[in-house]
Amino acid sequence: MNDFAPAELFDLASGSHRELFDGCVNAWEALERLHDYLGAVLRPGIRGEVEDGAYLTGDVEIAEGARVEAGAYIRGPALIGPGTEVRHGAYVRGDVLTGTGCVIGHTSEAKMAILLDRAKAAHFAYVGDSVLGQDVNLGAGTKLANFKIVPGTIAVRRQDGTSLDTGRRKLGALLGDAVQIGCNTVTSPGTVVGRDSIIYPSASVQGTIPARSVVSWKPPLRIRPAVR
């Protein structure tokens, strides 16, 4: 079994843009294809609602039923899918693909990112060089770190403890369908989280998390009398 195969992480029998993963051995390969894929499928134009005060530049498609609020900034290439919301203060920084019913919310930033149907980064999130499966929800303040602070490319860790070099200098997280992440969680570059997993708030997560896992991070809470 390949821990990183698209079919292990995402339901590719349904949903939008599943063809982006055709032939991919590992899910991050879809990111390498993303720019060209957008160039092929984008139909630049506004078919949804864009409020006054939003700023769009480059090749941007706002699909029918999508809404972009005042104060959002979208730099193409970007495809904002049907029924998706890009809220006030959001920053879409290029090479971003969203499916149906997604949310890029207030002060959330996305670049080189794939959000499959109903994936949500609603509050204060960073989504860089990452793939969010269907029905993923990022709690407020979630950061998907994508860049190593030491030289070299990013390796992902298999569940058996071995590693695979992705050859990428930047890689955020691969989050399987229905992953739920609590507020103020940070994932290290190259983190993979299997389907239906839950990560509690304020966790620091790395490596590969098996499907249907619960991850908690609860250091002791110390309460002492105040000195006055």
Tens-place pLDDT, residues 140-178: 999 999 998 899 999 999 988 899 999 999 999 999 999
Beta carbons of 204 and 188 less than 8 angstroms apart: yes
Please tell me whether residue 134 adopts helix, strand or coil conformation: coil
Dist. CA 40–CA 27, nearest whole Å: 20
Task: State the pTM of this model.
Answer: 0.95
Bond preceding residue 77 cis, omega within 30 of 0 = yes
Fold classification of 6-214 is UDP N-Acetylglucosamine Acyltransferase; domain 1 (2.160.10)
pLDDT of 18-56, one tens digit each?
999 999 999 999 999 999 999 999 999 999 999 999 999
φ, ψ at 59 (rounded to 5°): -80, 105
Structure tokens at 57: 């530049």
Dist. CA 111–CA 125, nearest whole Å: 12
Beta carbons of 42 and 48 less than 8 angstroms apart: no
pLDDT of 55-69, one tens digit each?
999 999 999 999 999
pLDDT level of residue 226 (50, 70, 90 thresholds): confident
